[in-house]
Structure 1
């Protein structure tokens, strides 16, 4: 049994990555590009400098948080497809606090911005949670639709009420400098948000696997009816799982605003919420697996730009590789579980 679990949790993701890279190499050959040359830049080009490594970590920060968001809900048997929108509202809340209270001490401004993002993301995630708990509504459909609401809400805010005083661009003024997340390494963009993300990784692990609440949440995810029969308040746990999941995604918005942009921009995120779903699946819905998968995605996304500059390969090929990784992962997982079931029947 342990060997079968190892097959699903470790071997299948590795094989999925390798298969995606092989197929990606075939695509590169079709456009007359040497795959070895392209992959050497993609995978190793940014590992030779401190700045390159720091950029990988910067890219990984919001993906870690949205990956944790999906993982938290997934472990409760729910699919939160709304991390993108929850990240947006978290960013909105963080910017409002940064604009109004950014003059305070950093020891106040930063925690207050973080708290605002947590609350805003939690409320945005709690809406589908409440509808799921009370009416049995599909959290998948509602979280997807709330993504659009959040995107257009942000566009409205940066175009009208929160537009910078100069009025030149659809963006807010810079938040107060005391609300900036401190840079961890001089001459890089690596900020405190990376350590905050790692802190939430440990926190999510402790909650899900070391507390009574986490046991009950996972019990609901494993068998809804058995959990209800055991006396667990299933509806409350569903609401709580999606609210906490949204709060985690909201932190991604906080790190992007406080650590990178220092203001609110229209469409500042390029699918980070959906990257979180991918890394959660690749990381087998475990907090530490999410970190490793996020670092891989960060490596690919930073390496894509280097590959485009050095070899002339379109950076978008990386998104093809990411998609192939998930397709191979899902297919491999299905085959591995079928093998596991057949083996169990044979033993029986």
Structure 2
């Protein structure tokens, strides 16, 4: 019961350029534009990510990542000082419920499982006097009793789902602490002062799930150091850190093995020719993207892609090759 378990959690997460001038564009540039807008326009798309078994084939639109985050985990903690067991959805002892100083002696000893099922809600009741903690799917078990604080931790399984397993409940009246385990052999029908109170609920081991990445998320590849942004449901490589700093103010850049962890279409690289320009003739703000002026229609779109306001160049533009408006697609 006091045995510590080392739980390895794989978390992915997945963490001065010249601007186009005011003059008319040259004939060569015009020809290039016709090529890009014609039947050969897909030369900009530089391949795609491999499909993987966790997404449908062919994969859906957008950029997807395989998540290794635990979904609604329930962790078990124990203190040799207080001889009590506590439970929470965070692996950090500092986030345990506490009613007096000195409860920092807890260590995480187990992962009960994932509370992400179609069954009844699992409620955590914490007694601020005795520091007992009860997990139950009976919403009325401790209603109306004094000193019990309530918080829902997730939803249980019904027991008939593949991979689901029971969680067993025990109580030690001398130590005033409840204990939960997925291994009934640990205490059997009760021992060492613990009385078996029955099957509490069902959980499962958390399973990796594919999830879609929102536009405006930035990544740096662990292997190559290359920078990427999810841009209109494609993944676009940013040519350099200088280009990143000139265009964007990312909230966070997520590390990862981009080719292995993300699936979806690659868009064209964002190169040093990309600029943010406000046309003082009409007040509109554009991203100059591969030679095309692409209108950023509103503040929400501007902020979604974390464009850098201080990099906007304000000048009159008499003529421009106009591309599609920039759109937040997801």
- Please state which structure has a larger fraction of its residues in strand: 2
Q: TM-score range by the shorter chain?
A: under 0.3
- Please state which structure has a larger fraction of its residues in helix: 1
TM-score by length of 1: 0.21
Q: Taking CA–CA contacts closer than 8 Å with sequence separation of 6 or more, which of the two structures ends up with the larger relative contact order? A: 1
TM-score by length of 2: 0.22
Rg larger in structure:
2
